[in-house]
Amino acid sequence: MARQPDTAERKAAPGCAPAEPIPLSPATHDFLKALASPTRQRIMMLFARGAELSVNEVAEQAGIGQSTASQQLDLLRRGAVVTARREGKTVLYRADRNGSATALADLQTYLQNCC
């Protein structure tokens, strides 16, 4: 089996200058963490086509407890996957397309420079 070159031996592709590593932003780390859970992925799908849901509606539709739904929505909100607004005493959540697009652009830049 061929030996892998060590870091000192690695060079940029012909015609390309070596790229400086671009770190992921903390917001993109939070975005990736939000996507890491099957439960949060299931919750994300509830917001397809612009749906706006309360914690209780998410809990019911996802088949999880209200406190679990609240915790998961908080992680999704911190990851800019969903956004929230208050209507009276109710907090309504919906997909955060701008937050997701920003994190995906950051991830794409990172991957283009590292790999």
Q: Please, what are the domains in the chain?
A: 26-110 (1.10.10.10)
CA triplet 99, 82, 29: central angle to 5 degrees? 55
The pTM for the full model equals 0.76
Query: Where does the pLDDT of residue 53 fall: very low under 50, low under 70, confident under 90, or very high at 90 and above?
Result: very high
Bridge partners, residue 85, by sequence: 92
pLDDT > 70: percent of the chain:
81
Q: Does the pLDDT of residue 8 top 90, yes or no?
A: no
Q: Does the pLDDT of residue 112 top 90, yes or no?
A: no
Nearest to 68 by CA among 51, 87, 43, 90: 43
Helices (H), 24-96: 26-35, 38-46, 55-62, 66-78
Q: How many CA atoms lie within 13 A of 4 on its CB side?
A: 2
Predicted pLDDT of residue 64: 97
Structure tokens at 2: 């061929």
Predicted pLDDT of residue 24: 85
